[in-house]
Structure 1
Amino acid sequence: MITTSKEKKVSPDDTTISKKICRPNVFAGTVVGVSGNKLVMANKEGKQYSHTLADDAQFTCDGTICKAAELTSGTKIRVTTKQNDRRVAIGIEALDTNAEFGKCCS
Structure 2
Amino acid sequence: MSGKAEMPRTPEDLSAFMAGLTFEPAPTPQQEAELLDALPPTGSAVMVVRSLRLPVELDEAVATAAKAAEVPKTTWIRQAIEMALAVQAEDDQPISRAEALRALTLLRPARHVI
Does the alignment reach a TM-score above 0.5? Answer: no
Higher helix share: 2
Q: Which has the higher contact order (CA 8 A, sep 6+)?
A: 1
What TM-score does the superposition give when structure 2 sets the normalisation length?
A: 0.22
What TM-score does the superposition give when structure 1 sets the normalisation length?
A: 0.23
Could you say which structure has the larger radius of gyration?
2
